[in-house]
């Protein structure tokens, strides 16, 4: 098996931010929004939160330890990250987080016993330059994968209820879980 350079998004691939957003919306605004529906387009367009409320919620859950450290890991992430390291792959988190939000993510990883390299590109900035040289990249946001077409040869959309409406055809392959992603990585590494 050849060693690969693997890029991963943080929120939605390592950390389960959907459940945290749902809980924060209940606590902050008294609104019950199921995690599988917690995507800006779905929540704001449906009138469940205003754009200002949605952004305030994001600032709190991504930028404060009070909320940010409460997120749960994506199921089976730790086990599979350990397997990737044991297989000799280089894993790097490439995220739009930067500044305080990036520090919260690093503290979250330390809390969960994960030692990962981070590259924070900043909100609204493409991940293309940071992902150059990666053999594959996985994100839960199709909009962030589209600029990587032609930059990273293998793109994966981590599937959640909130991105089920996205059609990754021509951009990425949809994967359903960490075991699915790991199997895909092994297949690429043994080609």
What is the CATH number for 12?
3.40.50.1000
Q: Nearest-CA neighbor of 13 among 88, 91, 66, 70?
A: 91
Average pLDDT, the chain: 96
- Domain coverage including residue 131: 5-16+72-189
Shared domain for 121 and 185, answered yes or no, is: yes
Distance CA 70, CA 2 (A): 36
Confidence of residue 1 (pLDDT cuts 50, 70, 90): confident
Is residue 21 helix, strand or coil?
A: helix
Residue 39 has pLDDT above 90, yes or no: no
The pLDDT value given to residue 186: 97
Is pTM beyond 0.85 here?
yes
> Could you tell me if 121 and 184 lie in one domain?
yes
């Amino acid at each position: 098996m050849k060693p690969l350079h693997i890029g991963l998004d943080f929120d939605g691939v390592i950390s389960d931010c959907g459940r945290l957003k749902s809980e924060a919306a209940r606590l902050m605004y008294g609104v019950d929004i199921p995690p599988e529906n917690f995507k800006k387009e779905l929540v704001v367009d449906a009138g469940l939160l205003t754009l200002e409320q949605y952004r305030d919620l994001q600032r709190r859950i991504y930028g404060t330890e009070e909320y940010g450290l409460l997120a749960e890991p994506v199921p089976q992430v730790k086990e599979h990250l350990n397997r990737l390291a044991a297989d000799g792959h280089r894993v790097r988190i490439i995220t739009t987080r930067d500044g305080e939000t990036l520090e919260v993510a690093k503290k979250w990883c330390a809390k969960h016993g994960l030692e990962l390299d981070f590259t924070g590109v900043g909100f609204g900035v493409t991940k293309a330059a940071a992902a150059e040289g990666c053999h594959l990249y996985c994100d839960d946001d199709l909009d962030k994968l589209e600029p990587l077409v032609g930059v990273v040869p293998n793109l994966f959309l981590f599937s959640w209820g909130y991105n089920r409406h996205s059609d990754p055809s021509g951009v990425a392959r949809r994967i359903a879980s960490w075991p699915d992603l790991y199997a895909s990585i092994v297949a690429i590494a043994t080609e």
